[in-house]
Amino acid sequence: MTIDWQKEAEKYRDDLLQDLTTLLKIDSARDVEHGTKAEPLGPGPAKALRAMLALASRDGFDTLNVDNVAGRIAYGDGDEIFGLFGHMDVVPAGPGWNTDPFEPVIVDGNLFARGSSDDKGPSIAVYYALRLIRDLKLPVNKKIHFIIGTDEESEWVGINRYLETQPAPDFGFSPDAEFPIINGEKGIATFKVTFKPVAAAPAALTLTGFSAGIRTNMVPQDATATITGTVPAALTDALATFGPANGVKVASEKTANGLTITVTGKGAHAQEPRGAVNAATYLATLLAPYDFDPAGKQYLTAIATHMHDDSRGHNLGVAYTDKLMGDLTASPDLFTFGQDAEQSVAVNIRYPQGTDAEGIRDQIESTLGLDHVAVTIDGHAQAPHYVDGSDPLVQTLLDTFHDHTGLPVHEQVIGGGTYGRIITRGVAFGAQMPDQENVMHQANEYMPVADIIRAVAIYADAISRLVK
């Protein structure tokens, strides 16, 4: 039987968009502040999970809710388990949206909403691929487990709970990256740089506050500093010229005894900070030359000298490249500074095989100097992950993608940490097309509707080849 996958996928367009809209309207960012025993990650992630499982039960699939933090949609039977791994949580909306991030709108064929491309759009494409396989009664000789997490953007609480209580799939893919495939993922660790107290000394200016960033996996788009004291003319001039000279927006406002200064850059996913404009390191670079109090000076200077415009970590002393997995990347993402309060920067680093988190920690500490900082690994580091290009899983997925698009296919390693890494034979496959810009984690995130439908066709074909 020859199947016109694209034509079959098109039949679901209206139903799919309606279901996807239901999911996108739920603000499912991690919200542990409002967590309860029943919904530990907050009401949003649990609500989105239940909404996804409700669609599947409505359509007659077996579903399982694991403590409101993870879920499963199951279909088919056999000895082996084929896994699909998506997630229903999103990163916070953040600033800079032209439309309400939780009121999906389609403009020129693009669906705008937080979660449209990461990962509700690709997840719904996988779900409709399963429906297509079932509706066409295609042969299935394995258990298919579509596993849904709700904390992918932070601590992976959901997927970890799932794996503690449910069987791990034998092989599978996560629809949470790009085509043609991601069969390698760098190691990931966040390093918390905490600044040590320094003796006070008179200075013209005092840095009273510095803050930026909302997540360790997002390059900060906005940064704010508050300063007190006598603002020198040179700084007043710099406030006017720095923005245009550096491609950022600088705004300042007089306060009772100083200034509040805000820089706006361009956010991005921390997995590839090159191309983003880190508002915080620009703000520190703007302020560092002036006569600040010793603690403020130490903080601003370290950021300006060792973290600014340096996506490969050269100035932190951690630059490293592996032939197969590529460059280490460094992204300072969370900034906190107050006088007599926490003074820290959290740096998110993606590293190839050949180096490790402990070594990177030691190197950052020695570059910045033990007199100035202490560096700790925040949470647990995830080791690099790689599935060989000759694995039939990789080959089948690449063949399928090529058959649908005619595009050249190749192995690919990224800095992202997708659920593909949770099993030994796990990869990420789509749903972002190779020529499509990556807008995940950014303001005005969108996904072309045509790409979602195309993903349904590719996923249905790929899954069907892998489970028959």
Scanning residues 255 to 274, which ones bind Zn ion (CB under 5 A)?
none
In the bound state with Zn ion, the residue whose beta carbon lies nearer, of 28 and 311, is 28
Closest approach of Zn ion to the CB of residue 156, in Å: 11
* Binding-site string for Zn ion from residue 27 to residue 66, where x marks contact by CB under 5 A and - marks none: ----------------------------------------
Q: Which two tokens stand for residue 290?
A: 């002036």
On the 0-12 / 13-18 / 19+ scale of CB atoms within 10 A, 4 is: exposed
The CA-to-CA distance between both ends of the chain, in Å, stands at 14
* Binding-site string for Zn ion from residue 79 to residue 118, where x marks contact by CB under 5 A and - marks none: ---------------------------------------x
Is 176 a residue that touches Zn ion (CB under 5 A)? yes
- Distance CA(371)–CA(297), nearest Å, equals 14
Size of the site for Zn ion (CB under 5 A): 3
- Distance CA(277)–CA(38), nearest Å, equals 39
In the bound state with Zn ion, the residue whose beta carbon lies nearer, of 118 and 327, is 118
- Distance CA(382)–CA(394), nearest Å, equals 22
In the bound state with Zn ion, the residue whose beta carbon lies nearer, of 176 and 327, is 176
Scanning residues 193 to 222, which ones bind Zn ion (CB under 5 A)?
none
Cα dihedral 156, 161, 163, 166, rounded to 10, equals: -150
Closest approach of Zn ion to the CB of residue 217, in Å: 7
Report the SS3 class of residue 65.
Answer: strand
Neighbours of 178 (CB within 10 A): 21
In terms of residues, how long is the chain? 468
What is the set of active-site residues? 89, 152
Is 451 a residue that touches Zn ion (CB under 5 A)? no
In the bound state with Zn ion, the residue whose beta carbon lies nearer, of 176 and 185, is 176
In the bound state with Zn ion, the residue whose beta carbon lies nearer, of 178 and 411, is 178
Closest approach of Zn ion to the CB of residue 427, in Å: 14
* Binding-site string for Zn ion from residue 115 to residue 134, where x marks contact by CB under 5 A and - marks none: ---xx---------------
Q: How many Cα atoms occupy the beta-carbon half-sphere of 156 within 13 Å?
A: 17
C-alpha closest to that of 312 among 355, 342, 255 = 355
Give kind and range of the element (H or E) at residue 58. Answer: helix 43-58
Closest approach of Zn ion to the CB of residue 126, in Å: 13
Query: Exposed e or buried b for every residue in 276-297, given b needs 16+ CB within 10 A?
Result: bbbbbbbbbbbbbebebbebbb
Neighbours of 100 (CB within 10 A): 13
Which amino acid, one-letter code, is at 146?
Answer: F
Report the SS3 class of residue 64.
Answer: strand
In the bound state with Zn ion, the residue whose beta carbon lies nearer, of 118 and 310, is 118
Q: Which two tokens stand for residue 329?
A: 């990347």
Closest approach of Zn ion to the CB of residue 49, in Å: 15
Angle at which helices 120-135 and 13-24 pack, to 10 degrees? Answer: 140
C-alpha closest to that of 81 among 136, 146, 159 = 146
Closest approach of Zn ion to the CB of residue 456, in Å: 18
C-alpha closest to that of 280 among 299, 258, 252 = 299
Q: Are 445 and 118 in contact (CB under 8 A)?
A: yes
**What residues line the site for Zn ion (CB under 5 A)?**
118-119, 176
